[in-house]
Amino acid sequence: MDERTELIKKILELEKEISEAQKRLVEQFYIDHLSSLPNLYKLRNDLEVNPDATLIILNIDNFKILNDFYGFIVGDFILESMARLLKVYYPDDNVYRIASDEFAILLNKTMNFYNLKVYLSDLSKEVSHVEFSYASTKIYVDTTLASSASLSSENVFSKVNMALKYAKEERLKFWIYEDTMAIGDEYESNLKYAKKIRNALNSSGLIPYFQPIIDNKTDKIVKYEALSRLIDDEGIVHAPDNFIPASKTIKVYDVITKTIIEKTFAIFENNELEFSINLSFEDIINQEIYDFIIQKISNSDISSRVTFELLESEKVKDFKKVIRFFNEIKRHGGKVAIDDFGSGFSNFSYMIKLKPDYIKIDGSLIKELDIDKNAQIVVETIVSFAKKLGIKTVAEYVHSSTILSAVKSMGIDYSQGFFIDKPSPELSI
């Protein structure tokens, strides 16, 4: 064999080795090494090739808790066991591991909503409360499923993820995305407000508005409640219900809270008025915000004029943290209030422990106080309870002279609402 033939042979062998190496690299790129299943990249590729296939996503419930409790070795065992179980159920269909605790199934057929509902209902029974045995320990695993019955195959992965998120939030066994659903609207709204929020943070577009609170005995304004507002590039004013959810998604909620507190304190340092600031339970358990508030009130000359209002919510689980916060605020001369009382954790024994200076009665009880007998009974009970404990009461949502008269007749100490005045960036001194 001459040198030229030998050289060609070596080149061909080298090309073959390179081709096989490239093939192995591609295979590795598309494989999850723990479960040996195809991964997210392979799923996305397969969805492009077969857009009419039915996609199902399976999420292991509370996997982090299982992983933390048993350890990562057992956590890996659970994931491997789930992978094997799904391959037994779907030997002829593609099964993928697409995230830490998520798997996907790609069925080579299409189903309408009703067929898919029956299918997921049956599958949910098979993959719920599954028993895996590790050594002598039995571990029980539950799952949540999601799929899509959208008429369009466009963005099917995103649609199924939206359905999964909804199912997890509502604690459902499974959920199916439909074109008539408004789940996508929330995502679109978050994207829109994410840009507005970032622009506002960079251009001082986050400002406090102020709504006056009157003394029901004198009808005079005695304090103001600070409310956050976002002013976008077009000068449109947005209420917190619109932009706060998006701020949490993009993780700038704490920045907004601190900005509103900072600006509110700066405004009231230039007058003698009392004011209040809204907080959520999330603010209290956020150590950074907690420290910021305590530092702010401890270094301020106006601490005796500020009231921090905690929004009443079923999210409040740890009352020790609330009591700690309330006591710390009072120690520095500030006051505390329970906002929207009557809507969430209205347990009178908790109020005795919390010892707020004010109870703000929820607007749902106030807005029809003149005609709703049940609301009257509840409000009378709250007012009587508060008076016995020396807690002042504030009526929210006072929207007419009739409601204001009813509020006064029941002995509520203060009122606020549109009948008195709407929130404004200026103080009506």
User: pLDDT tens digits for the chain (429 residues)?
Assistant: 566 677 666 666 666 665 655 555 555 567 888 888 999 989 988 988 888 889 999 999 999 888 888 888 999 999 999 999 999 989 877 899 998 899 999 998 888 889 999 999 999 999 989 999 998 889 999 999 999 988 777 788 988 998 999 899 888 999 999 877 655 566 666 677 888 888 888 888 999 999 999 999 999 999 999 999 999 988 999 999 888 888 887 888 999 999 999 999 999 998 999 999 999 888 888 889 999 999 999 999 999 999 999 876 656 666 788 889 999 999 999 999 998 887 655 567 777 888 899 999 988 899 989 899 998 999 999 999 999 999 999 999 999 999 999 999 999 999 999 999 999 999 876
pLDDT the model gives residue 143: 95
Query: 310-342: buried (b, 16+ CB within 10 Å) or exposed (e) per residue?
Result: bbbeeebeeeeebeebbebbeebebbbbbbbbb
Q: What residues pair up with 54 in beta bridges, in sequence order? A: 107
Q: What residues pair up with 59 in beta bridges, in sequence order? A: 102, 144
Q: Domains in the chain, please, with CATH? A: 31-181 (3.30.70.270), 186-415 (3.20.20.450)
Alpha helix (H) residue ranges in 219-366: 240-249, 253-268, 281-285, 287-298, 319-331, 348-354, 363-366
Cα–Cα distance measured from residue 233 to residue 230, given in angstroms and rounded to the nearest whole number = 10
pLDDT the model gives residue 317: 63
Whole-structure pTM value: 0.66
pLDDT the model gives residue 101: 93
Amino acid at 210: F
In angstroms, the Cα distances linking 82 to 87, 97, 103, 325 are 9, 10, 9, 44
- Measured between its terminal Cα atoms, the distance across the chain in Å is 104
Q: CB neighbours of 16 closer than 8 A, spacing ≥ 6?
A: none
Question: Vertex 300, ends 295 and 304: CA angle to 5°?
Answer: 110
Q: Which of 223, 224, 219, 242 is nearest to 232 (CA)?
A: 242
